[in-house]
Amino acid sequence: MQITANAIVKFLSGLPEIKQELIDLTHTDWLVLDNKFKGVASRLIFFIVLLLCSVELSAQIQKGIRGDKSLSTLSIDQWTGKEGLMSNNLTSVNQSSDKFIWITNFNGFLRFDGSSFKMYDKANLPFLNTSSFYETFEDSKGDLWFASQSSGILKLANNSFSQVLPPDKNSLSVRCIAEDRQGNIWVGTNNEGIYILKDTVLVRFDEDEVRLQNVTDIISDTKGIIWIATGGDGLLKYSNGKLEQLTDKDGLNHNTINRLEMAPDGTIYGGTANGVFAINQKGIQTLAPLNAHEINDILIDDFRNI
């Protein structure tokens, strides 16, 4: 990205308080400012250059580990109870679009700004049944959702928390939260199947194959297909109003699936009690190097490392 003197002058000339001063700068190298631009003009030019450069650089930053980088060359920072974590036993870590890090565990959840932690539990959210949480999810509107062990789902919108439970229940153990292409929120539970949030009300997803399932993860792919991971009954595929079950008999390496993740090319990866499988146009494949390893989470970085 090239920043020219004329481009900066054109921008600054729209500011009436310095428009006259900038007339003589049009054909001058902006790096060599004379004494009369030691005031607001020169400072503003410097600020704009820094701002444009930082935007350009931030757009180019890729998250992940390059394949030609050795792990020994990377630096690792560690936070434990000594640095403010309420527990070293964590259930999830996610970053929201406003750059905060959200950490869940069985004692509540934390918001981390890079230097300090803010804790949320029954002390400041008294409507909670317990302070145990499994994960966080951010929807397409930027609202945050929290999956709790017995308090249903929590929603954070406009800096305010609210609790969502089915109308006929005062508790619900939620394992995972997802959003489909229509903006519906899908809620996977422990042994109570799936609920869908419709007009602020949680409604049960009334399919016999799902009704009493232990649902560990849900994702919606680019085609609008809903993939449902279970804790012992394989993978469920919901498309065009029909539900299909896939198990180890169909090629999965295990029927207990802990996590689902979709790659940029649409491939669905599943972390199981016995390694990782992939589903794409070629069918179901297993990633042999990871067999015999229980996989609890999957992340695909900007370099497409898994």
The pLDDT, as a whole number, for residue 235 is 97
Does residue 10 carry a pLDDT above 90? no
Dihedral angle computed from the Cα positions of residues 278, 133, 239 and 283, in that order, rounded to the nearest 10 degrees: 10
The pLDDT, as a whole number, for residue 65 is 75
Mean pLDDT check: name the lowest of 116-120, 208-212, 249-253.
208-212
* The token pair that represents 274 in the structure block: 């016995």
CB contact at 8 A, 175 and 216: yes
Does residue 163 carry a pLDDT above 80? yes
Rounded to 5°, the CA angle 252-256-260 comes to 75
Mean pLDDT check: name the lowest of 35-44, 158-167, 194-203, 243-252.
35-44
Strand partners, 204: 195
Residues 6+ apart with CB under 8 A from 155: 143, 144, 145, 146, 161, 162, 163, 164
| Amino acid present at 31 | L
The mean pLDDT of 79-94, rounded to a whole number, is 87
CB contact at 8 A, 268 and 281: no
Beta strands in the chain (DSSP E): 90-95, 101-105, 108-112, 117-120, 133-138, 144-148, 153-157, 160-164, 174-179, 185-189, 194-198, 201-204, 215-220, 226-230, 235-239, 242-246, 257-262, 268-272, 275-280, 283-286
Q: What span, in angstroms and rounded, lies between the C-alpha atoms of 13 and 7?
A: 10
The overall average pLDDT reported for the chain is 84
CB contact at 8 A, 20 and 40: no
Does residue 25 carry a pLDDT above 70? no
Domains annotated for the chain, with CATH where assigned, are 5-60 (no CATH), 86-290 (2.130.10.10)
In terms of pLDDT, which residue wins out, 255 or 11?
A: 255
Does residue 86 carry a pLDDT above 90? no
Does residue 81 carry a pLDDT above 50? yes
The mean pLDDT of 140-162, rounded to a whole number, is 96
Condensed to tens digits (0 to 9), the pLDDT of residues 178-234 reads: 999 999 999 999 999 999 998 889 999 988 889 889 999 999 999 999 999 999 999
**Phi, psi for 305 (deg, rounded to 5):** -75, 145
Task: Report H helices in the chain.
Answer: 5-12, 19-22, 40-60
Residues 6+ apart with CB under 8 A from 69: none
Rounded to 5°, the CA angle 112-116-117 comes to 55
pTM of the model: 0.78
| Amino acid present at 162 | S
Q: Can you tell me which residue has the tokens 């190097």?
A: 289
Does residue 61 carry a pLDDT above 70? no
